[in-house]
Structure 1
Amino acid sequence: MNSSTRPCKVIVVCGSSSGVGKSTLVDRLSQLISNASALYFDAYQATTEFPPDLFEDLANGKDVDPKHIRSPLFYRDLCALREGRPVVDPWNREVTPGAYLIVEEPFGREREGMAELIDYIACIQLPMDIALARRLLRNLKQDFNHLPTEERIQFMESTLLQYLNGGRIAYQKLYELVAADCDLILDGLETTDEMALAVITDLKRRGILQDQG
């Protein structure tokens, strides 16, 4: 890192379950904050190593350490951006560094090495049933709308079975773990702009975000 370059501020949006609105809020914050870039955990999901029985263990009351959820490419690129070096993510999108880096990271400070890199965490709280409904609608209308109807129905069935067979409990436990060490809890029932305003206001109050003019 060039001696004249200071690490950017890393602002994380978390929330353990799919469908709470993490990516959408990261998008909006990166638009509203001057000289900000964005990094998405979703782009690195295929290269992330999860414990084989993560949901089952959580649902059965076993302790699960998020440090066992490893994503070396995500960590490498986050470090590079923080130090002012551009990266190309697994979706082949170039991410250029800025004064602020807005990051989608479901597990907050809990994964190995993350606490040292993060300056601020906003955690989205949303009832699990609403998150599930949003996820299924997104899958049907966007992610899998190219698939035959029968395949989409099968996907919905598997998702709902996972949710009923321990997924809901696992998501709740992960949320409680992550939320315990965050800086701001957001109401996921609010609009994206309302949540973004709450984050920006809190960042300014803490002196992390300078006057945007």
Structure 2
Amino acid sequence: MNDAIRDFINLACYIDTPLDIAMARRILRNAEEQTMHDLQSNLQNYLIRGRAAYLEMEKTVKASSDIIIQGDLVTDLIVDRIIEELRKSAV
């Protein structure tokens, strides 16, 4: 999607994560560092801008990716799948 770096990318992976899972993971990832005000602010930002950005990526970035990986898998399986695809593309 970015013409300035297109020639430097050999393989584009899109991790297709349902929006509810992506939001839950983000909240959990930042839970210890955030105040309730921070959490409310992040959720408000998601509703105003973030959700639209995720949906736009589903239409544009996902469509132009070489590989789509199921994002509701556990992290280790996602990483394994990416490594497997990188090895295939290196051959």
TM above 0.5:
yes
Task: Supply the AA of the counterpart residue of 1:113.
Answer: A
Unaligned runs of 5+ in 1: 1-109, 146-151
Q: Which has the higher contact order (CA 8 A, sep 6+)?
A: 2
Q: Which residue does 1:190 correspond to in 2?
A: 73
- Residue 180 of structure 1: SS of its match in structure 2? helix
In the superposition, relative to structure 1, how do residues 153 and 186 fare at CA in structure 2: closer, same or farther (>3 Å)? Answer: same
Q: Which residue does 1:113 correspond to in 2?
A: 4
Structure with greater Cα Rg: 1
Q: Which residue does 2:52 correspond to in 1?
A: 169
TM-score w.r.t. structure 1 length?
A: 0.39
Alignment of 1:22-171 (within 5 A): 110-141=1-32, 144=33, 152-171=35-54
Unaligned runs of 5+ in 2: none
How many residues end up aligned between the 2 structures? 91
**How far off is 1:172 after superposition?**
1.2
Q: Which contiguous aligned blocks of 4+ residues in structure 1 show a shift greater than 4 angstroms? A: none
- CA distance in 1 between counterparts of 2:53 and 2:87 reads 34
Task: Supply the AA of the counterpart residue of 1:119.
Answer: N
User: Root-mean-square deviation (CA), in Å?
Assistant: 1.9
TM-score w.r.t. structure 2 length?
A: 0.82
% identity of equivalent residues: 32
Which has the larger share of helix? 2
Which has the larger share of strand? 1
- Alignment partner of 1:204 is 2:68: no
